[in-house]
Amino acid sequence: MTREMTPMIDCTEAKSLLDELVDEQVGESSGDLLTEHDRHAIERHLERCTSCRTELRQLRDLRRATADLPEEIAPERDLFPEIRSRIAPGTVVTHPRAASHPRRWIGLAAAGLLAAGALTAALLLGRAERSPATSPRGTGLAQPAATLMADDWLVAEREYLQATDRLLSALEARESQLSPQTLAVLEKNLQVINDAIEDVRTALESDPANTQSSHILTALYQQRMQLLWTANRLSS
Amino acid sequence: MEACAIPRSEPPPQPEEQVVRARAGDLSAFEELYREHVDRVYALCLRMTANAERAEELTQEAFVRVWERLRTFRGESPFGRWLRTIAINTVLADWRSSGRLRALERGLDEMPPLASNEAASASRLDLEAAIAKLPAGARTVFVLHDIEGLRHEEIARLVGSATGTSKAQLHRARRLLREALRR
Ligand SMILES: [Zn+2]
């Protein structure tokens, strides 16, 4: 009975229905793509046709592979600064390099600058506190050492930060040549160093004359420069 | 029985907080929306164009249009879907202006895709590379139907073609992809 109601279809006809069949089976479109009549016809054809069965299997595999593709792909550069300049032309971008890679680098650069500002203030404050009239320890001897330390630091730190800045700029220009994995490792390490700089800076703030802290800070600045220098070499 | 009532009793969806703020002109809220959605939009543009540079430009264009049209967004559909439709239209409008869409509408898209090797090198998967190498019309329909989950009727409406054209393009895309992946 059903045999007369669903006449045999040939491969050409069958293949034209396979797309919809696989969409019903695998896709999100739930079951109303084929008419009852077509569904019966294709199912009967598939029972006896190896070629169409193979094609259906391939289509199913393709559909599943497609479903596994990532929904998201990150662009290789930050696209927002240009969008912002188009929708809000008056917006002032304070850090020139923030325009190219704010997400990745501005935080790192800012961390250094922030630490520098606070440290400088702490050192100046420390020096003032150790002026002969208000020397907290009342020992005339500690004061010249602290002053010397502070002066050295102001110069040394400015140099470190300028050098770091240059390395960051160079790295930004070549960023695209580094693999995402390398960039991730770099960012993580920079973050660790920046955090450490923050900590030591806090320690120095409460005790600017602490030579141990200032040595550690020097080492950290050097470590950061070394890391950036290595990254620059990798990308050049 | 009682369980059936749950979907109906939910309040109508409200636009998310950043959307409301961005609609009022808050640029930082808009940036948050951008960060949240850019990878999805870029994936769509990259797959439709098979050209990383073009995809970047079109992603930017799409977000500029979103900003300009935020006032018209009432939250009837999820923000992401609204944004995605704007992105699709942005890519299609670009093709329209360059005459590529007319070829797409007619289904005569034998022209080679733009710089397909760019997208291929960016992707790790053979499938992505094979999609990038599809002719533009077949690729568009494949991306919209099989990746983005649009129905043929929606694609036909967006592209301005017949539903049958969309189906034929999908059939062709899948055949070419099966052949490419068998190799
Ligand atoms: Zn057959």
Is pLDDT at B175 greater than 50 in this prediction?
yes
Percent over 70 (pLDDT), chain B: 77
- In sequence order, the 6+-apart residues with CB closer than 8 A to the CB of A142 are A130, A135, A209
Query: Which letter, b or e, does each residue of A33-57 get, where b requires 16 or more Cβ atoms within 10 Å of its Cβ?
Result: bbeeebbbbbebbbeebeebeebbe
**Angle between helices A180-206 and A107-129 in degrees, nearest 10:** 10
* pLDDT at position B52: 94
Please state the ipTM of this predicted complex: 0.81
Calpha distance A202→A216 (Å, rounded): 12
Nearest CA in chain B to A58: B178
Mean pLDDT of chain B: 82
Chain B residues close to A87, C-beta within 8 Å: 27, 30, 64, 67-68
Interface with B, mutate which of A62, A86, A93 (most B CBs under 10 A): A62
Measured from the Cβ of residue B17, the count of other Cβ atoms closer than 10 Å reads 10
Tokens encoding A173: 């220009």
* pLDDT at position A95: 37
Query: Which letter, b or e, does each residue of A95-107 get, where b requires 16 or more Cβ atoms within 10 Å of its Cβ?
Result: eebbebbbebbbe
Tokens encoding A38: 């077509």
- Measure CB to CB from residue B34 to each of A69, A80, A88 and give the nearest one: A80
Whether B146 has its CB under 8 Å from any CB of chain A: the answer is yes
pTM greater than 0.80: no
Average pLDDT over residues B114-142: 71
All structural domains of chain A with their residue ranges: 11-67, 80-235
**Region of poorest pLDDT, from A76-90, A130-144, B11-25, B141-155:** A130-144
Measured CB to CB, residues of chain A less than 8 Å from chain B are: 16, 19, 27-29, 55, 58-59, 62-63, 65-66, 69-77, 79-80, 82-84, 86-88, 91, 103
Calpha distance A33→A13 (Å, rounded): 16
Q: In chain B, what are the domains?
A: 13-98 (1.10.1740.10), 100-183 (1.10.10.10)
* pLDDT at position B12: 52
pLDDT digits (tens, 9 = 90+) for B37-73: 999 999 999 999 999 999 999 999 999 999 999 989 9
* pLDDT at position B99: 64
Q: Are A130 and A143 in contact (CB under 8 A)?
A: yes
Backbone angles phi, psi at A153, to 5 degrees: -65, -40
Residues of chain A with pLDDT under 70: 1-7, 27-31, 90-167, 169-170, 172-173, 188, 191-192, 195, 198-199, 202, 205-206, 232-236
Asked if the Cβ–Cβ distance from B170 to A82 is below 8 Å, we say no
Chain B residues close to A75, C-beta within 8 Å: 38-39, 42, 52, 55-56, 59
Q: Decide: residue A157, CB within 10 A, 0-12 exposed, 13-18 middle, 19+ buried.
A: buried
Asked if the Cβ–Cβ distance from A72 to B56 is below 8 Å, we say no
Interface with B, mutate which of A54, A57, A83 (most B CBs under 10 A): A83
